[in-house]
Amino acid sequence: MAPPSHPPSHPPSHAPPSHAPPSHAPPSMPPPLQQQQLQQSVEDEDEETTLMQDWIQSRAVVRVKQQGAYYLVTGVVSSVSGSMVSIDITNPTPMGIVEIAASSIEPVLPEKGDDVLVVGGDVDEEMMGKTGKLNNIDDTDAVVTVDGLGLQFFDMRDLCKYMPE
């Protein structure tokens, strides 16, 4: 006696042809979901870079990463008081000194020839907080003349642009 025939429990592996033109646009999402995903993306990027604790110092060049009135503006740290940072906003236009939460800022990456501050947590403890001059960049590797120590090599993520007095 032959076993009873059962219909397949899953759909066929090929779908009927569609007569609609292929869409190359990403699926649309409601704006709140897009904002949530953008915020998650920013948080994920933050996790990739390990900054030393208390990396924020006077004269460091920073960017505001928190959405709001100062989102993506850059400036120079003038002072740090607890969890608040006074920043002299310089870009896109000078705005004077504003108070921003320390958790809302990130270091600005330097360019060849810039003065730098070592801020990465993935460097030797003796290097943290040191300043120097960025001599060369090769992909993500940086060659820096560190003040008082000479030539050193860093990952670009471990550096912040610095404005000496």
pLDDT tens sequence across 91-148: 988 989 999 999 999 999 999 999 999 998 777 888 889 999 999 999 999 999 999 9
Domains and CATH numbers, the chain: 49-161 (2.30.30.30)
**Structural element, H or E, at residue 85:** strand 84-91
Average pLDDT over residues 16-29: 41
Percentage of the chain with pLDDT > 70? 68
CA end-to-end distance (rounded Å), the chain? 95
Instruction: Report residue 55's pLDDT band, with 50, 70 and 90 as the boundaries.
Output: confident
Bridge partners for 130 per DSSP: none
- What is the reported pTM? 0.67
Q: What is the mean pLDDT of the chain?
A: 77
- Write down the residue that tokens 């904002």 correspond to: 35
Q: What pLDDT shows up at residue 121?
A: 72
